[in-house]
Amino acid sequence: MNATAETKPTTDSTEKARTESLISPRFYTTDYDAMDRLDLSPVRTEWDELMREFETDANTDHFQRTDEFAGVIENMPEALRKEFIDFLISSCTSEYSGCVLYANIARKVKNPDIKKVMRYMARDESRHANFINQSLKDFDLGIDLGFLTKAKKYTFFKPKYIFYATYLSEKIGYARYITIYRQLERNPQYRFHPIFKWFKDWCNDEFRHGEVFALIMKADPSLTRGLNRLWIRFFLLAVFATMYVRDHTRPEMHAALGLDPKEYDYTVFRITSEISKQIFPLTLDIDSPAFHAGLERLRAIGEATAKAKAEGGVFNRVKRAGLAVMGVATFARLYLLPTVGNELPDKVRTAPAW
């Protein structure tokens, strides 16, 4: 679905959130009948335990704003503000993307287990998205989430791709938020916006969402065997590479947090890889020099592409096509690097211990 004359975006942020690019958050739709057929009986005990956690709803009152938020964005240096707003827009879009996906699945399936868990997760993601959006609204840059639901393009993903991609995005979301939270706990002088104080309890929600998909995958061992290993490898690399390229477009924000983007990203990769051993039969060799070099090359290609796009013109269009080919080739080379095998544990559930 695309924007029509009657449904114009109301703010620049809404337009930014709607626009598609290789590294911007997307909206997804899936095969709801296949979701209906999921059978969780092989993981029943762990599943019921997890549902009790969702029922407890420890974060009911967590996402309440305080007076500390007033005037903070207004008083930021221009370059930092630009990147921070960009970060808020992209985070809000990706939280809301989860909300829309989970809410649609909850609405369309009959399977009581899936319906229930999707409702819980949509509840959490809607809180997250709205909490970020309030900070954007302070600056009159709120995203029109209702408009976005109608105007954003939806990408169809078979359930198994939803499981791999969403599992990873929930776990990497946890790893990103907890790494920032710990950095600011040690160095409070870098906390340039109060929203970071909320990250700890917030990321426990994301961790729990990841557990849902870990159990769904555990219930059907074929999802982590055979040729599906190749898909897992693909999604690991796609998620890591996207994050690496995107984070390097925000040097001011990372400097303000006292973080080096490269170091920060590798910390997040390490935590995510460690967690993913609960269900993925392999991890990427993130310490190999070839992996580091490949990501750096993707970053350089990403930067050159953004520059060519900003300059415009026929020559730059040709240049961008060339860069796209180089990007695909670099990604393919990274994909073919050796991975590290992992024996799956009997018990899937793991705790947010970082």
DSSP state of 68: G
Question: How many residues contact Fe ion, by CB under 5 A?
Answer: 6
Please name the residues in contact with 27: beta carbons below 8 A apart, sequence gap of 6 or more.
97, 100, 101, 152, 153, 154, 155
Q: Of the listed pieces 207-215, 263-271, 303-311, 320-328, which binds Fe ion according to CB under 5 A?
A: 207-215
Binding mask 277-296 for Fe ion (x = CB under 5 A): --------------------
User: With respect to Fe ion, which residue has the nearer C-beta, 129 or 232?
Assistant: 129
- Residue 314's alpha-carbon distances to 112, 301, 308, in angstroms, are 55, 18, 10
Cβ neighbours of 325 (radius 10 Å): 11
Q: Of the listed pieces 27-35, 102-110, 209-217, 278-286, which binds Fe ion according to CB under 5 A?
A: 209-217
Residue pointed to by tokens 């169809």:
156
**Contact residue for Fe ion among 152, 176, 208, 209 (CB under 5 A):** 209
Task: Give yes or no for residue 95 binding Fe ion (CB under 5 A).
Answer: yes
User: With respect to Fe ion, which residue has the nearer C-beta, 41 or 64?
Assistant: 64
- Using CB under 5 A, which residues numbered 146 to 185 contact Fe ion? 170
Instruction: Using the Cα atoms of residue 318, residue 17, residue 59 and residue 213 in order, give the sign of their dihedral.
Output: negative
User: With respect to Fe ion, which residue has the nearer C-beta, 59 or 342?
Assistant: 59
Distance CA 293, CA 89 (A): 30
DSSP state of 18: H
Instruction: Using the Cα atoms of residue 212, residue 215, residue 216 and residue 217 in order, give the sign of their dihedral.
Output: positive
Output the smallest distance, CB 140 to Fe ion, in A.
24
Output the smallest distance, CB 209 to Fe ion, in A.
4
Q: Phi, psi at residue 68, to the nearest 5°? A: -60, -25
Task: Give yes or no for residue 81 binding Fe ion (CB under 5 A).
Answer: no
73 in Cβ contact with 139 (< 8 Å): yes
Task: Give yes or no for residue 208 binding Fe ion (CB under 5 A).
Answer: no
- Using CB under 5 A, which residues numbered 329 to 348 contact Fe ion? none
- Using CB under 5 A, which residues numbered 110 to 139 contact Fe ion? 125, 128
Distance CA 163, CA 40 (A): 14
Closest CA to 352 of 210, 187, 183: 210
Residue pointed to by tokens 């080919």:
325
**Contact residue for Fe ion among 15, 46, 144, 206 (CB under 5 A):** 206
Output the smallest distance, CB 206 to Fe ion, in A.
4
Q: Of the listed pieces 107-115, 206-214, 256-264, 300-308, which binds Fe ion according to CB under 5 A?
A: 206-214
- Encoded amino acid at 254, one letter: H
Site residues, Fe ion (CB under 5 A) = 95, 125, 128, 170, 206, 209
